[in-house]
Amino acid sequence: MSKTIIVSNRLPLQVKTDGKDIKVTPSVGGLATGMKSVHRDSNGVWVGWSGLTDEEIDDGMQAKVDQAVQKEQCVAVNLNEDDIQNYYYGFSNRTLWPLFHYFLEYTEFEKESWESYKRVNEKFAKVVVDQIEEGDRVWVHDYQLLLLPQLIKDEKPDVPVGFFLHIPFPSYEIFRTFPKRKEILEGMLGSDLLGFHTYDYERHFLSSVKRIANKEVRFNKITHDNRIIKVDSFPMGIDYKKFEDAAKKNQDQSKKQRSEVQRRLDEHLNESDSAKMVLSIDRLDYTKGIPNRIRAFEYFLNKYPEYQEKIRLIMLAVPSRSEVPQYQKLKKETDELVGRINGQFSTVSWTPIWYFFRTMPFENLIDLYTSSDVALITPVRDGMNLVAKEYVATRTEQDGVLVLSEMTGASKELGEALQINPFNFEEIADTLKRALEMPKAEQKRRMLSLQKRISRYSVEKWAEEFMNALESSQNVSQYIQAERLTQKHQRNILKTVEDSENTIIFLGYNGTLVDYTDKTEDKTPDKALYDTLAKVSQRPNVELCITSCSENENLQKWFADTDYRLISDHGAFYRKHNIWTELEALKTDWMEDVIPVLETFVDRTPGSYLDINRFSLAWHYGDADIEMGEKRVIEINTVLTSLTSNTDLSVFHGKEVVEIKSTKVSKGYAALQVLKEKDFDNIIVIGDDWTDEYMFEDLPDHAHSIKVGIRKTNAKYFVKRVEEVRAFLNLLG
Ligand code: GDG
């Protein structure tokens, strides 16, 4: 039975050892909940680090750890102390985390930690690849494993790989500063589906893919390595029912059943009718806007002194990454700010900020959520922020107000929250006042809409949608009309050759018969190719016609010793029985008018250039800013269409090129002239680029047309690589 392999930095469990015994407890975080149906029900496997370093596990213990972890359907990746220091605290949390959250000033780049990051991603790849069986799929999570998708693809090209990024993807202007930007993108592009929390992260990623990795992007699809990669947003949800049920239970409990935390909260709330509580919960992280929040609260107490002694900010800050200096600095700053404000405003019976620096059990978390009039969530940058959603889920009476930073991914979905700019203290203070004074009816109206939306798109639904999208990303023919050329198709075509009186095979050259990676130079045919072509042409009823954009001198040089038909220069020249003819008396006087127009585009688009060929003009923008280039294409089309109407000129848009030429110069037109010479009852045509599309389109419907590569095509079939063309020709031979 096929399974899903989930991969994340940490396994969803806590492993404790007291020297001899191992204790494993499953953790109940959001991701683990969301993945439950994928992991448990489908017999899945979860690959990740157990939390214990190699140094903490002695020889005798390893087998026990593996066994205990296996019981939870998990497989551990073994990491040592050095990995944790360099890959985890180093590259993941001192480089990628600040960079992706726009903290350029905190972003350190050290070669050693980059090397370690690569090494650990390889360790993960090895474990994952070992687990893969026929029919399996892999879902990789988060910024610690950005190189993993490609490492898996290299080993298992046919296994579907999905990747989800839990943090923001920064804008191109930020991402481009990063020394290993290309390597990171290429690592991610090993996936078949890439998921982000929001559309903004998705478009930032696509922009970097276009501009840095120089890949073809159409809407949300990337063509890379003969695959189509889909990019989409999947806003992560929460286990809504779990929070709602826990809140209901909390409400129903008797006084005696209440926790110590709940009792303390009640004491404050019962002091007077106007007593209010404001809540914030986050990991102590500089992205969460904690100092901003405290300063804004101070500003609020000064600006609205009537709230003094009535309002309390409860701040739960969970310890996090305390080995990283910026986190130590933040801890110090937070302690000092809380101390200063409490020192300044406290009275005998009131302290404005209750500050907890620890984790709390789930039940206490619910005490906090259900007792607070306002949730004040102010990150300066946050991928999603699940706390905002959890607060909403626990408001069973539909009261309470969510004040939410517009810099969180969650703000895109939670339009009914009061949204603030976390850098604007005055706005935070005024919005807090508005929240505290909001009429109950308005609270209810907003809360109901929020709840309706969040309950619908739960974390289970999120995982399900991602998996469905991964499944459908496999179906390449969904995006292109052509069918993959199978063995059966090949045998059928071979049969038509055997049954025919006269077959002609039109073959593209660069990119069809020879690999064409260095696009600046034509490639000379190799011996194997000469042999293959010779074999095919020895069939008495078969003729070959090689069609190329190259100049006729080149083709003549390469195929001087053969009698193949040749079409060169995009279809302008034709060779038969070793005699070259110009297919049309081609005029070029139109170039005089068009060249100055295209030159203005060259001037206005840095990186673009004009190629003046014998019969055509081509404006290339592959090295220009790709987005600017695409904008210019629209302008060029408008200008040229008016200029070329009433002429036999046409404008073609290819990959990063706009070409203007006579309609009579095309491989399609040339191929039709060849067909007029003889009664060919069977036609095969194979090509790879946009100039070959004219043959696919112009040749009769019964032609067997095959495209090399998977870009949009008019051909009936497609193959992925040049080797497949050669293998097919060998079969015909
Ligand atoms: C990353 C991204 C993205 C917190 N304190 C306690 C506790 N929690 C739980 C909360 C919530 C979770 O931790 C925190 O989730 P967030 O989404 O707010 O933030 P990150 O940890 O930064 O997570 C973030 C997320 O990944 C998912 O993709 O939203 O943007 O940074 O569930 O309830 N739970 C318990 N005790 C605590 O003291 N039991």
654 occurs within a structural domain: yes
123 occurs within a structural domain: no
Q: Which of 102, 279, 363, 384 to mutate to test the pocket of ligand 1 (most atoms within 8 A of CB)?
A: 384
Residues known to be catalytic: 166, 382
What is the CA 163 to chain-centroid distance, rounded? Answer: 7
Least confident stretch, 330-339, 514-523, 590-599: 514-523
- Torsions phi, psi for 389 (to 5 deg): -70, -35
Residue type, position 632, single letter: R
Residue position matching structure tokens 């043959």: 695
3-state secondary structure 432-449: HHHHHCCCHHHHHHHHHH
Protein residue closest via CA to atom 28 of ligand 1? 166
Atom of ligand 1 nearest to the CA of 409: 30
The verdict on 371 and 275 lying in the same domain is yes
The verdict on 168 and 200 lying in the same domain is yes
Protein residue closest via CA to atom 6 of ligand 1? 359
Work out the angle between the directed axes of helices 362-371 and 260-269 (0-180°, nearest 10).
10
- Torsions phi, psi for 453 (to 5 deg): -70, -45
Distance between Cα 119 and ligand 1 center (Å)? 28
- What's the Cα-to-Cα distance from 643 to each of 176, 194, 649, 658, rounded to whole Å? 39, 43, 9, 15
| Strands laid side by side in the 401-405 sheet | 353-357, 311-318, 276-283, 374-377, 401-405, 418-420
The verdict on 368 and 428 lying in the same domain is yes
pLDDT digits (tens, 9 = 90+) for 10-40: 999 888 887 678 888 877 666 776 787 778 7
Atom of ligand 1 nearest to the CA of 361: 39
Distance between Cα 440 and ligand 1 center (Å)? 29
Protein residue closest via CA to atom 33 of ligand 1? 387
3-state secondary structure 260-287: HHHHHHHHHHCCCCCCEEEEEEEECCHH
Q: Which of 93, 238, 243, 385 to mutate to test the pocket of ligand 1 (most atoms within 8 A of CB)?
A: 385
Distance between Cα 225 and ligand 1 center (Å)? 36
Query: Number of helices and strands (H, E) in the chain?
Result: 26, 30
What is the CA 618 to chain-centroid distance, rounded? Answer: 33
Question: Which of 215, 233, 251 is where one domain is finished?
Answer: 233
pLDDT score of 478: 42
Nearest to 289, CA basis, from 186, 396, 387:
387
Confidence at 586, pLDDT banded by 50, 70, 90: low
Mean pLDDT of 407-427: 96
The verdict on 286 and 398 lying in the same domain is yes
Count of domains forming the chain: 4
Under 8 Å between Cβ of 572 and 583:
yes
The verdict on 675 and 688 lying in the same domain is yes
Q: Which of 320, 363, 386, 390 to mutate to test the pocket of ligand 1 (most atoms within 8 A of CB)?
A: 386
Question: Which of 184, 206, 233 is where one domain is finished?
Answer: 233
Cα angle value 163/165/166 (rounded, 5°): 135
Distance between Cα 282 and ligand 1 center (Å)? 7
What span, in angstroms and rounded, lies between the C-alpha atoms of 308 and 304? 8
126 occurs within a structural domain: no
Distance between Cα 168 and ligand 1 center (Å)? 15
- What are 57's two structure tokens? 């596990």
* List of residues 6+ apart from 79 with CB closer than 8 A: 49, 53, 54, 87, 88, 120, 123
Confidence at 365, pLDDT banded by 50, 70, 90: very high
Distance between Cα 29 and ligand 1 center (Å)? 8
Mean pLDDT of 367-384: 97
The verdict on 45 and 171 lying in the same domain is yes
Distance between Cα 241 and ligand 1 center (Å)? 17
* Report for 32-46, 58-72, 582-596: range of highest mean pLDDT: 58-72
Atom of ligand 1 nearest to the CA of 360: 38
Atom of ligand 1 nearest to the CA of 383: 30
Range of the domain at 419: 240-455
Residue type, position 220, single letter: N
Nearest to 84, CA basis, from 142, 45, 123:
123
Whichever domain contains 537, its CATH number is: 3.40.50.1000
Other beta carbons within 10 angstroms of residue 25's beta carbon come to 10
Mean pLDDT of 301-307: 97
Least confident stretch, 96-100, 393-397, 437-441, 594-598: 594-598
105 occurs within a structural domain: no
Protein residue closest via CA to atom 39 of ligand 1? 362
Protein residue closest via CA to atom 34 of ligand 1? 362
What span, in angstroms and rounded, lies between the C-alpha atoms of 271 and 264? 11
Residues with a CB atom less than 6 Å from ligand 1: 30, 166-167, 236, 281, 283, 316, 318, 359-360, 362, 365, 382-387, 390
Whichever domain contains 323, its CATH number is: 3.40.50.2000
- What are 117's two structure tokens? 């990051």
Q: Give the predicted TM-score (pTM) of the model.
A: 0.80
Protein residue closest via CA to atom 36 of ligand 1? 360
**DSSP assignments along 116-178, one per residue:** HHHHHHHHHHHHHHHH--TT-EEEEESGGGTTHHHHHHHH-TTS-EEEE--SPPPPHHHHTT-
474 occurs within a structural domain: no
pLDDT digits (tens, 9 = 90+) for 587-640: 777 888 889 888 888 888 888 899 888 778 899 998 888 778 888 888 888 888
425 occurs within a structural domain: yes
Burial bucket for residue 508 (CB in 10 Å: 0-12, 13-18, 19+): buried
What span, in angstroms and rounded, lies between the C-alpha atoms of 689 and 671? 16
The verdict on 67 and 188 lying in the same domain is yes
The verdict on 275 and 405 lying in the same domain is yes
Strand partners, 230: 193, 221
What span, in angstroms and rounded, lies between the C-alpha atoms of 431 and 353? 18
Atom of ligand 1 nearest to the CA of 382: 30
pLDDT at 705 over 70: yes
Distance between Cα 30 and ligand 1 center (Å)? 8
pLDDT digits (tens, 9 = 90+) for 497-510: 999 999 999 999 98
The verdict on 253 and 226 lying in the same domain is no
Q: Which of 387, 394, 402 to mutate to test the pocket of ligand 1 (most atoms within 8 A of CB)?
A: 387
The verdict on 672 and 656 lying in the same domain is no
Nearest to 211, CA basis, from 230, 180, 179, 185:
185
The helix or strand, by DSSP H or E, that contains position 302, with its residue range, turns out to be helix 290-303
647 occurs within a structural domain: yes
pLDDT score of 479: 47
DSSP letter at 43 equals T
Atom of ligand 1 nearest to the CA of 166: 28
- What are 447's two structure tokens? 């809360």
The verdict on 568 and 600 lying in the same domain is no
Burial bucket for residue 604 (CB in 10 Å: 0-12, 13-18, 19+): exposed
pLDDT at 378 over 90: yes
3 state DSSP class of 298: helix
What span, in angstroms and rounded, lies between the C-alpha atoms of 401 and 387? 13
Residue position matching structure tokens 């009061």: 418
The verdict on 678 and 626 lying in the same domain is no
Atom of ligand 1 nearest to the CA of 388: 18
113 occurs within a structural domain: no
Mean pLDDT of 252-269: 89
pLDDT score of 643: 74
Under 8 Å between Cβ of 275 and 320:
no
* Report for 1-10, 616-625, 684-693: range of highest mean pLDDT: 1-10
Whichever domain contains 628, its CATH number is: 3.30.70.1020
Distance between Cα 431 and ligand 1 center (Å)? 24
Question: Which of 218, 233, 248 is where one domain is finished?
Answer: 233
* Report for 250-264, 277-291, 583-597: range of highest mean pLDDT: 277-291
pLDDT at 63 over 50: yes
